[in-house]
Structure 1
Amino acid sequence: MTKTSGERVDSRRWWALTVVLAATFMALLDSFIVNVAIPSIQADLRASASDIQFILAGYTLAYAVLLITGSRLGDMFGRKRLFLTGMLGFVVASALCGAAPSSLYLILFRVLQGITAAAMMPQVLAMIQVSFPEHEKAKAIGLYGATIGIATVSGQLLGGYLISQNLFSLGWRSVFLVNVPIGVAALLAGIPLLQESRNPSAKRLDLVGAIILTASLLALAFPLVQGREAGWPAWSFILLACFPAGLTLFIIYERKMLENGKSPLLSPSLFRDRSFSLGISLILVFYAIASALFFTLAVMLQQGFGYSALTSGLTYLPLGIGFFLASLASPKLVSRFGPAVLLVGAIITAGGIGYTLEIVHHHGGHLVWMALWPSLFVIGIGQGTCAAPLIGTILSKVRQVNIGAASGVLTTATQLSTALGVCFVGIFFYRALDISALPDAHARYAHAFTISLEFVLILSVIYALLLIFLLKAGQQRHPEKAVSASGQRG
């Protein structure tokens, strides 16, 4: 791993962190904020149900399947260069989305947004890892985790505010145009503040490997995103069956590349570490919990109880506050008490989900949105306690030469887990809604939400068990440092 400016610590690294966190905020915000604008887009552009699906999915699919390739390009050409290029493209794509004259153009520009986000986002964690000394990484990743929490909650809240206020008579277009001033400011600040870094062993792009992996991820992501809305037709199962075949082909090809002395897209050695493989499994389950909860809660509040997008967004506010506060506190807690803090966070999360289940079960169709605030705050505390230390713990076990690829894999897992969570919880939620004999719509949606929460609670238990295995794997590798490793390496 090399930095073009040398190995000394950058005195402006905290200002540089602000720039990359602004990019993180924008990219994650765009995964959620558009949901609120769908009715306005449908009315203004006369978009069909199919158009709306692709407006939502186009960004997620392009983003998810190209993240690993984006991380490799950052290793090759420089992370600062790829980050700023992606940022510029994201700003332009956001402006084009805001000016889209038809649903077809909006779909194309959303895909462009996803492509540019895939160039920008994998560089963030890699730049944090190479820019900060060991004792500061935990704090930096804690701020990264806090940004994730703010962006996730802000999507509903900010989107609802912009639509309800109709600023400058822009309507739905404001949810895209809000990225432009943030992106321009971050881009101008990033040019002098960010330091360049790259992986000297990444000489050229493994184009064949990139194509195989992208096709494999698309075979998984596309049916997960579109399958339920399409009624799970035969093509969705065919594509899902193609994923393991494509992944196997990719692994065989990458090993051949390594045997021939060439540079693979992903080094097989990255997955030989049991801790890293377990860590990716944890990321998949952790973010599936969050996406499943957010999706079903939003559907219950807006479709079942008829709350506005802004009110629905306000419901999430305590969760975001709890997540933000816990993300800031978690580095110090891990430094003092060790990685067992992650397990405490998992238990708090499960407790918060159980608390929410009890509240909804008690109130049923008479549920008031503010009644959920205490339990959602508890969930936010639990998830915020886990998020940043989990990322730091996983990356701390990765060799510096693989840090770019590891960041790409981790970010890809985050995106895929979001689709997985919505996909599986949707099966339980809508099945419960369809078979419910309750006469009141409010009660039917509340019942379906409780069924979904039971599924989410099971996921939380699985997450806690995987976490125990990860902590044991760390102790086996570094028995004398098991308690302090996560706090020191962040």
Structure 2
Amino acid sequence: MTARWAALPVLLVAVFVTTLDFFVANLAVPSIRADLRAGDAAVQFVVTGYGLAYAAGLITSGRLGDLYGHRRMFRTGLALFTVASAGCGLADGAAWLVAARVAQGVAAALLAPQVLTLLGELYRGADRATAFRWYGTAVGLAGVSGQVIGGVLVSADPLGLGWRACFLVNVPVGAAALAMTGRLLPPPLPSPPRRAGDGMSRARLDLGGAGDGASRARLDLGGAGLVTAGQVAVVLPLVEGREQGWPPWAWWCLAAAGPILVAFVRRQRRLAASGRTPLLDLGVFTDRTFAWGLVAVALLFGTSAGLSFVLALYLQDGLGLGPLAAGAVCTALNAGFFAASLRPGRFGAPVLLLGLCLLYDVVARGAQPYQVAMALLVVGAGMGLIMSPLLSSVLSAVRPERAGAAAGVLGTVQETGGVLGGTITGTVFFSTLDGGDWRSATLTALSVLVAGALGVLAHAVLRPRARTPVPAGPGEQYDPAPVDPCRPPSAR
């Protein structure tokens, strides 16, 4: 078991740097614009190109892990991410930088489902709960500290690199993690006994779980093209539409997304009915715990993204704080998240709702920065308490043979939920920002986030109590008793 725990830092480092890169470039945008003489569209795609490529590639990447081995795809993604980060740091023009950022997003998409699947393979029972607790901590800290770290790197200007340090810092980290993957990533625990009727037979499909050999099944290229086009049609207008005043092309993209995704679903059903292997096993959605859990994940990540958007504007433009002072206030969110994520529990949703209500009250009464920080401490604690139990419960409801597909879907929902949350919150914020009334606009936007937190709380109270099989170790049988993933392992 020691070897399996030694693998955890490698997986967490990979997920931390790929999540961090969603946000770390934001504060470098002015420097990038000046240094590369980049136009508005190019600068926007430096930020959004990464997220768009990431969101569009997750489902296909999860399937690639099933086909060719999750370890092999993890190493490939990590190597590509490291090279793409170097490409970003060495860019001598805006087009080069945008292309390298898209490559980073593709690499991050290749990594993310493999990390989730490997955590499920390497750890069982209480160990799995612990591993996902650390995963949630890594994702949350990267998300809430990204802009702070970016601001520090740009301000410190290490070795005179300026904005390039935001990307080049990934190179030694990625190279070190890559050097350790072959030695520290052990083979998975033996798969538990399968029950009759559990999806596709392993005689038909080698999932790559026990080794890294290529599967006899083939990648559904037509399905990959459809799902990628559908996701781009959803995410691109949501990311760029508001910035450009919702031009006609944004609405056409959103209108086209529905038929494209319907065609994808029909293709997957047709392939499964004919005995061929689809890109996405739609059976993952038959488990109510998984399906309803995705709704809660979308609400949680949407609330987090919306809060980051509101804070960035309110603290600097509303309260008049500088970037470093605003970052210092946001460290309270980081601190609350980190402290609570070390011991997650069942009260995360109520604490998150309480924190957002406190923040609303503070802003309504005329906020001082220290009061905002105190409210953010509670918000961060709520997110830290709920994130890892929620992610663990969603994935633990899925059969092992569907792990890659489920991880790809979960990552897609996380990213799309974040984009939707930021877009909806931003639209509400700017539509009510009349004459520079920052307080009213912030309160309206916070009302949207409170509604999202209420949805997360409703899921925590009403979620289906599935009888989820959670083996505790090699060779052990399925435990038929229901498992509450929000209950501390020591109390089970």
Fold-level similarity (TM above 0.5) = yes
Residue matched to 1:275:
289
Determine if the alignment matches structure 1 residue 195 to structure 2 residue 186.
yes
The alignment partner of 1:172 has SS state of helix
SS in 2 for 1:121: helix
For residues 220 and 467 of structure 2, the distance between their equivalents in structure 1, rounded to whole angstroms, comes to 35
Q: Aligned residue for 1:430? A: 430
Map of 1:461 onto structure 2? 454
Q: Distance in 2 between matches of 1:282 and 1:244?
A: 22
**Inter-CA distance 480–259: structure 2 relative to 1 (3 Å threshold):** closer
Task: Give the aligned partner of residue 79 of structure 1.
Answer: 70
More deviation, 458-467/173-182: 458-467
1:345 aligned partner: 348
**In the alignment, does 2:146 pair up with 1:155?**
yes
State the distance in 1 between where 2:404 and 2:486 align.
Answer: 19
Residue 295 of structure 1 and its aligned partner are, at CA, apart by 0.7
TM-score under structure 1 normalisation? 0.90
In structure 2, distance between residues paired with 1:310 and 1:186: 30
Which deviates more from structure 2 when the two are superposed, residues 52-61 or residues 312-321? 312-321
Cα contact 1:428–1:452 (8 A) shared by 2: yes
Q: Hey, what does 1:420 align to over in structure 2?
A: 420
Given the superposition, is the C-alpha separation of residues 29 and 477 from structure 1 closer, same or farther in structure 2, using an over 3 Å criterion? closer
Q: Is the 8 A contact 2:468 2:483 kept in 1?
A: no
Give how far 1:419 is off: 0.6
Is it true that 1:474 corresponds to 2:482 in the alignment? Answer: no
Q: Kindly state the Cα deviation for residue 307 of structure 1 after the two structures are TM-superposed.
A: 2.8
1:360 aligns with 2:368: no
Partner of 1:407: 407
The whole-number CA distance in structure 1 between the counterparts of 2:217 and 2:103 is 26
Name the CA shift for 1:372/1:282 in 2 (closer, same or farther; >3 Å): same
Aligned AA (1:58): G
Measure the CA separation in 2 of the matches of 1:346 and 1:293: 16
Per-residue deviation, residues 168-226 of structure 1 (Å, max 9, x unmatched)? 11111111111111111111111211135671577221111111111111110101111
1:360 is displaced (CA, Å) by 1.1
Secondary structure of the corresponding residue to residue 38 of structure 2: coil
Structure 1 counterpart of 2:21: 30
Q: Give SS of 1:320's match.
A: helix
Rounded Cα–Cα distance in structure 2 between residues aligned with 1:214 and 1:196: 31
Mapped contact 1:202–1:263 kept (Cα < 8 A)? no
CA distance in 1, matches of 2:216, 2:115: 18
Is the partner of 1:33 in helix, strand or coil?
coil
> Equivalences for 1:1-80 in 2 at 5 Å?
10-80=1-71
Alpha-carbon distance in structure 1 between the residues aligned to 2:274 and 2:381? 49
- Aligned pairs (5 A) from 1:108-187: 108-187=99-178
Greater shift, 138-147 or 149-158, is seen at: 149-158
What amino acid does structure 1 have at the position aligned with 2:79? L
Quick one: which amino acid aligns to residue 289 of structure 2?
S
Deviation at 1:386, TM superposition (A): 0.8
CA deviation after TM superposition for structure 1 residue 111, in Å: 0.4
Alignment RMSD = 2.1
- Verify the 8 A CA contact 1:219 1:240 in the aligned structure 2: yes
Whole-angstrom distance in 1 between the partners of 2:446 and 2:164: 34
TM-score (norm 2): 0.89
**Equivalent residue, structure 1, for 2:310:** 296
CA distance 1:132–1:477, shift in 2 (3 Å)? closer
Find the counterpart in structure 2 of residue 5 from structure 1: none
Higher helix share: 1
SS at 1:418 equivalent: helix
Residues 70 and 118, structure 1, Cα contact 8 Å, conserved in 2: yes
Q: What is the alpha-carbon distance in structure 2 between the residues aligned to residue 475 and residue 293 of structure 1?
A: 35
The alignment partner of 1:12 has SS state of helix
Deviates more, 1:85-94 or 1:189-198: 189-198
Q: Compute the displacement of 1:447 (Å).
A: 2.4
Displacement of 1:369 in angstroms is 2.6
Deviations 1:224-273 (A, max 9, x none): 11110011111111111122211211111101100111111111211111
The match for 1:6 is: none
Check conservation: 2:302, 2:418, Cα contact below 8 A: yes
Name the CA distance, whole Å, in 2 between partners of 1:232 and 1:463.
29
Flag the 1:303–1:425 CA change in 2: closer, same or farther, 3 A. same
CA offsets, 1:271-292, max 9 Å, x none?
A: 1112111111111111000000
CA, structure 1 residues 30+323, in 2 after alignment: closer, same or farther (shift >3 Å)?
same
Structure 1 CA distance, aligned partners of 2:111 and 2:424? 29
Distance 1:94 1:118 in 2: 14
Give the SS at the match of 1:153: helix
Match of 1:379 in 2: 379
**Partner residue in 2 for 1:396:** 396
Residues 1:284 and 2:298 are matched in the alignment: yes
Q: Pick from 271, 275, 278: which aligns with 1:264?
A: 278
Residue 36 of structure 1 aligns to a residue in which SS? helix
- Within 5 Å, give how 1:224-243 maps onto structure 2: 224-243=238-257
Distance 1:480 1:19 in 2: 33
How far, CA to CA, are the matches of 2:79 and 2:324 in structure 1? 30
Return the letter of the residue paired with 1:474. Answer: A
* Structure-1 separation of matches of 2:87 and 2:322: 27
- How many pairs are equivalent? 459
